């Protein structure tokens, strides 16, 4: 990938896509360690109203006209445990359509390299921890996000099938739970960290005595800051091919914490001093989801942003988002 290569970032306004945009246009947090300085100048994007990625003909026409050389497939219908559980049809339909249209158009129009972004929920609910890439399809999935996981597994298998049949260079990467600037702070649809940042902030402002945390607080999660993920994606896109990463590769930090610990740390960063109350009528989801990142590690990439630092940056982003809508 050269600085003037034509790069299409699908989903450039989302948590992942916007981080990839930042990384492509500005220096890597690893700059100085030989990881490149950004400076990609030929990036093409389309908003949802300009291009409906579930529309096969529109996607095909876009690829025919634009002829991108590299594609980051970061467009997806995403959400937290509640949204996944309720909007099950939307999650499977929209994700299957977007992936299918973009992967097929990339093959048809000669894309040099495509990166498909999946999710750690592709692994079986009770997979041994940490989860190695080879545990895919060795057991039953977590029911709250099964439709989303099936769509993401289909994306991995599509990339692999096109590589094998047509000799394409389509790489799949599986990030762990993500957070960062531009996250979704809607309390019903979001993931746990943006939800807790908002709840704790609002409780602090209203001098409320407690904040409700869903579930038991005992599930463990691994959290990766979105700019770190973007750095890993660009690192892999530049240096590796599908043959180097195999069917797909995990991207994570290799460490996990309980939801209770995450909530306590957010309370500290936000400055909320009340009680945490656990609502056990809400689902816990998967008990643990820790990725084995030894393959990525061996390729020479490790995450940089510590959890406290990432939460502090995310809280600053939330404050800015609140200020801009006030
Ligand atoms: O982040 P989250 O929604 O998704 O929830 P998953 C993680 C854990 O945090 C669950 C608990 O045990 C939740 O019950 N939790 C506590 C909360 N308080 C809250 C809250 O206020 N909001 C939310 N959302 N959770 C998602 C999948 O699973 O992970 C997606 O649904 C995707 O498919 C994503 O794979 C990475 O980690 O459980």
The 3-class secondary structure across the chain, one letter per residue, is CCCCCCEEEECCCCHHHHHHHHHHHCCCCCCCCCCCCCCCCCEECCCCCCCCCCCHHHHHHHHHHHCCCEEEECCCCCCCHHHHHHCHHHHHHHHHHHHHHHHHHHHHCCCCEEEEECCHHHCCCCCCCCECHHHCCCCCCCHHHHHHHHHHHHHHHHHHHHHHHHCCCEEEEEECEEECCCCCCCCCCCCHHHHHHHHHHHHHHCCCCEEEEECCCCCEECEEEHHHHHHHHHHHHHHCCHHHHCCCEEECCCCCEEHHHHHHHHHHHHCCCCEEEEECCCCCCCCCCCECCHHHHHHCCCCCCCHHHHHHHHHHHHHHHHHHHC
Relative to beta strand 257-258, strand 220-221 is antiparallel
Is 87 a catalytic site residue?
Answer: no
Binding site membership of 118 for ligand 1 (Cβ less than 6 Å): no
Structure confidence at residue 236 (pLDDT): 96
In whole angstroms, what is the distance from residue 215 CA to residue 284 CA? 5
Q: Is residue 316 part of a domain?
A: no
Cα–Cα nearest to 171, from 237, 123, 119? 237
Q: Is residue 78 part of a domain?
A: yes
Structure confidence at residue 34 (pLDDT): 46
pLDDT tens by residue, 267-289: 999 999 999 999 999 999 999 99
Residue 326 scores a pLDDT above 80: no
> Which residues are 251's β-sheet partners?
175
Mutate which of 77, 122, 192, 288 for ligand 1? The one with the most ligand atoms within 8 Å of its CB, which is 192
pLDDT tens by residue, 10-39: 999 999 999 999 999 986 666 555 456 678
Structure confidence at residue 39 (pLDDT): 86
| Catalytic residue chosen out of the listed positions 40, 148, 162, 185 | 148
Mutate which of 80, 143, 270, 286 for ligand 1? The one with the most ligand atoms within 8 Å of its CB, which is 80
Q: Is residue 326 part of a domain?
A: no
* Mean pLDDT within 203-215: 97
Binding site membership of 175 for ligand 1 (Cβ less than 6 Å): no
Binding site membership of 194 for ligand 1 (Cβ less than 6 Å): no
pLDDT tens by residue, 95-153: 999 999 999 999 999 999 999 999 999 999 999 999 999 999 999 999 999 999 999 99
Residue 254 scores a pLDDT above 60: yes
| pTM score | 0.96
- CATH code: domain of residue 53: 3.40.50.720
* CA of 137 relative to ligand 1 center, distance in Å: 22
Structure confidence at residue 28 (pLDDT): 60
Residue 324 scores a pLDDT above 90: no
* Mean pLDDT within 292-310: 96
Atom of ligand 1 nearest to the CA of 215: 14
Q: Is residue 38 part of a domain?
A: yes
* CA of 118 relative to ligand 1 center, distance in Å: 16
Q: Which domain, by its residues, includes 132?
A: 7-180+222-255+289-305
Binding site membership of 88 for ligand 1 (Cβ less than 6 Å): no
Closest C-alpha to ligand 1, atom 23: 192
Mutate which of 121, 176, 278, 285 for ligand 1? The one with the most ligand atoms within 8 Å of its CB, which is 285
Structure confidence at residue 322 (pLDDT): 86
Q: Is residue 77 part of a domain?
A: yes
* Mean pLDDT within 57-75: 98
Number of domains in the chain: 1
Binding site membership of 81 for ligand 1 (Cβ less than 6 Å): yes
In whole angstroms, what is the distance from residue 14 CA to residue 21 CA? 10
Binding site membership of 84 for ligand 1 (Cβ less than 6 Å): yes
């Amino acid at each position: 990938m050269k600085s003037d290569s034509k790069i299409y970032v699908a989903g450039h306004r989302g948590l992942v896509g916007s981080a990839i945009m930042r990384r492509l246009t500005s220096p890597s947090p690893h700059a100085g360690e030989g990881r490149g300085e950004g400076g990609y100048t030929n990036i093409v994007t389309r908003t949802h109203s300009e291009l409906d990625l579930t529309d096969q003909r529109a996607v095909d026409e876009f690829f025919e006209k634009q002829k991108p050389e590299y594609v980051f497939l970061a467009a997806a219908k995403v959400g937290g445990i509640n949204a996944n559980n309720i909007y099950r049809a939307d999650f499977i339909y929209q994700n299957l359509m977007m992936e299918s249209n973009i992967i097929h158009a990339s093959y048809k129009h000669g894309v040099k390299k495509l990166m498909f972004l999946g999710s750690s929920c592709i692994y079986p609910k009770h997979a041994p921890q940490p989860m190695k890439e080879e545990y895919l399809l060795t057991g039953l999935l977590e029911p709250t996000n099964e439709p989303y996981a099936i769509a993401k597994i289909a994306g991995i298998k599509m990339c692999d099938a096109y590589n094998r049949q047509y000799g394409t260079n389509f790489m799949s990467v599986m990030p762990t739970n993500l957070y960062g600037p531009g996250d979704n702070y809607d309390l019903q649809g979001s993931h746990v960290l943006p939800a807790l940042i908002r709840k704790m902030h609002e409780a602090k402002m209203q001098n409320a005595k407690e904040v409700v945390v869903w579930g038991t607080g005992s599930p463990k999660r691994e959290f990766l800051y979105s700019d770190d993920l973007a750095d890993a994606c660009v690192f892999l896109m530049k240096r590796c091919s599908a043959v180097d990463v195999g069917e797909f590769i995990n991207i994570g930090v290799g460490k996990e914490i309980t939801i209770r610990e995450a909530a306590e740390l957010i309370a500290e960063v936000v400055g909320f001093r009340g009680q945490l109350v656990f609502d056990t009528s809400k689902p816990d989801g998967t008990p643990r989801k820790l990725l084995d990142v030894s393959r990525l590690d061996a390729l020479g990439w490790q995450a940089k942003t510590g959890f406290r630092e990432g939460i502090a940056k995310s809280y600053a982003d939330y404050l800015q988002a609140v200020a801009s809508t006030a």
